[in-house]
Amino acid sequence: MKPLTKEVREFWLNTVDEEFKEKRTAIETEINSQAQEMSDKKQSTMAKQCNVDKDLKALEIADNKYQQFLKTKSEMEDKLYTAVREAGTKVADKLSRISNVRGWSISFDGFEPKEDGVGYFVNKLNSACYDEAYKVVQSGHKVYNDLKQTKTACRIILNTGSDIESTVTTLKAEMGKAKINLPIPAKLLQIAVTKPNSSCN
């Protein structure tokens, strides 16, 4: 029985690390794609769901008036600026409270009436919508959620195995649970399979 040497064990540990890294990247790309698709579907209703759709409409109207003012009469600036600022503050306050409740890592206190307009809040709502969708997709992805545990099991197999044939065979089966195909030479697997039979004869 060929011993599992330090060099061989290190090779397989590195192989496992690389395979899991590639698998995680592929899964995260899949999750990102699904989350983006879910987010795209929900974005149109996100403002209404947060009960700020009417507020955003009022802000948009106020902001449109403000932009028109810049082209026409300067004497209306203070009045319109105040309207935009107040509308923006109202939306920011509501969304800040909702952000705390729903655990968003998004700040709504940077609104600038002269620069941002309604797009400032819509973009942040879209980001929040995507983040929530990502968490939903990620939490339901079984292989992703089992990945860390399966990798730990593989490292334990490599660090406790006594011979290369049985260790690699067990490793291949465990990695299969994560849908990772470990490229083991067929000859090595054949040795692992036929050896117990030959001992019975």
Q: 152-175: per-residue pLDDT in tens?
A: 999 998 888 878 888 888 888 888
pTM of the model as a whole: 0.59
Q: 90-135: per-residue pLDDT in tens?
A: 999 999 999 999 999 899 889 998 888 899 999 999 999 999 998 8
DSSP per position, 180-193? ------HHHHHHHH
**Tokens 């769901």 correspond to what residue?**
49
Taking CB atoms within 8 Å and a gap of at least 24, the contacts of 104-110 are 104/128, 104/131, 105/131, 106/131
